[in-house]
């Protein structure tokens, strides 16, 4: 695990990453403790190491509706034709189910990636989903980072999932 973390740190130093938080995203967290889903070193490097919740934030519309939305909303940029790449987008879900503070946490060695990643980020930000909050070991709703992973094929976001 330590080797993976060091490798990610080196990649982050060598390849440009788009980890910057969107300037318009302002989200008031409920508490002082922020949890993170278990995405491993990729999320830990991007947002810092946090405790894992007992249960993760869930899309209340269900996984099928979640996947259908992204299948119907591709990245609208012809420059992505012929490309296949992975992208991970993190965001916070508060104890009240509010979402915000979106950021791309992927690292990719391609000059076009930041522009395509930003377009995927826009699709995620505009998604009509509601999220149930994560819960701690005592069953209390808590603030938590969630991650959506995409395998982008020809600008399609159809191959997607989140930590559940």
CA distance linking residue 66 with residue 151, whole number of Å: 15
21 φ/ψ angles, rounded to the nearest 5 degrees:
-75, 145
Q: Model's pTM, two decimal places?
A: 0.83
CA–CA dist 53, 73 (Å, integer): 30
Determine the Cα–Cα distance for residues 13 and 11; give it in Å rounded to an integer.
5
Give the C-alpha separation, 89 to 142, whole Å. 20
Contact 156, 120 (CB under 8 A): no
Averaged over successive runs of 10 residues, the pLDDT of the chain (164 residues) comes to 37 38 68 91 90 97 96 93 92 97 87 91 96 98 97 94 91
**Residue whose token pair is 């894992």:** 52
Contact call for residues 59 and 65 (beta carbons, < 8 A): yes
pLDDT confidence of residue 22: 45
């Amino acid at each position: 695990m330590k080797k993976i973390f060091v490798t990610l740190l080196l990649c982050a130093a060598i390849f440009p990453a788009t980890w910057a938080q969107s300037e318009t995203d302002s989200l008031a967290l409920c508490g002082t403790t922020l949890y993170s889903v278990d995405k491993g070193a990729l999320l830990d490097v991007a947002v810092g190491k946090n405790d894992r919740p007992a249960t993760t934030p869930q899309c209340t519309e269900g996984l099928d509706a979640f996947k259908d939305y992204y299948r119907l909303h591709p990245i609208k940029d012809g420059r992505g034709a012929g490309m296949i790449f992975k992208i991970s987008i993190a965001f916070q879900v508060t104890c009240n189910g509010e979402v915000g503070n979106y950021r791309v946490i992927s690292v990719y060695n391609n000059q076009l990636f930041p522009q395509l990643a930003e377009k995927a980020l826009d699709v995620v930000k505009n998604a009509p989903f509601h999220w149930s909050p994560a819960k701690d070991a005592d069953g209390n709703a808590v603030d938590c980072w969630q991650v959506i992973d995409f395998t982008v094929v020809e600008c399609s976001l159809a191959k997607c999932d989140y930590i559940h």
